[in-house]
Amino acid sequence: MKVENITSYVIKNLTIWLWGGFIYYLIEMVWRGHSHPSMFIIGGICLLVVARMNNFFPWEMALALQCVLGGIAITVIELVAGCVINLWLGWGVWDYSGLPFNILGQVSLFFIFAWTGLALVCIYLDDYLRWKLYNEERPRYRWFSSEVD
């Protein structure tokens, strides 16, 4: 891989990570009224993972399925991050132990629905940034079976 290709790859991924971190942190501020710097890092990772998945899937794949898979991925990231941040490091950034269907108090399976919606935002944002900033292919989607622009 050429140096300019590596540089371009790093810049694209850094841009996506920064947007993910900013949006996730902003959602936390609006939803909970506060956040933690770790949430910026986690948000960036979530967008990068969903973006990678998004770029792996063909345009013909149903957007609804991509969102569900992205929601599951974000839930797994939240679980792993919660185990490290809250259980191992003891920072106590969040605790969902009072919510139904929680796993170790770090995720509630109820939130998969919220993360599925967030995955949709991630997919649109990733595609838009790549299209407008990096002259990549114009996004086109299929919700279920018919193509939409």
In tens, the pLDDT along 35-80 reads: 999 999 999 999 999 999 988 988 888 999 999 999 999 999 999 9
Summarize the confidence of residues 79-104 as an average pLDDT: 96
Give the span between the Cα atoms of 136 and 125, in whole angstroms. Answer: 13
- Given a contact cutoff of 8 angstroms between Cβ atoms, the answer to whether 67 and 116 are in contact is yes
Q: How far apart are CA 119 and CA 71, in angstroms?
A: 6
117, part of any domain: yes
The pTM (predicted TM-score) of the whole model is 0.88
102: β partners = 108
pLDDT of residue 104: 97
Residue 145: inside a domain: no
Domain count, the chain: 1
Q: Which two tokens stand for residue 25?
A: 């942190």
pLDDT confidence of residue 145: 66
51 occurs within a structural domain = yes
What pLDDT, on a 0 to 100 scale, did the predictor assign at position 100?
93
In a domain, 144, yes or no: no
Which two tokens mark 125? 């944002």
pLDDT number for residue 3: 62
Within a domain: 30: yes
Per the structure, the complete domain to which residue 15 belongs is given by 3-139
Dist CA 129 CA 124 (whole Å):
9
Contacting residues for 139 by C-beta, under 8 A, at least 6 apart: 124, 127, 128, 131, 149
pLDDT the model gives residue 65: 94
Query: According to the model, what pLDDT value does residue 113 have?
Result: 92
In a domain, 147, yes or no: no
Phi then psi for residue 61, to 5 deg, are: -70, 140
Q: Would residue 110 count as lying in a domain? A: yes
Residue 63 lies in a domain: yes
Q: What are the pLDDT digits (tens) for 100-136?
A: 999 999 999 888 999 999 999 999 999 998 899 888 8
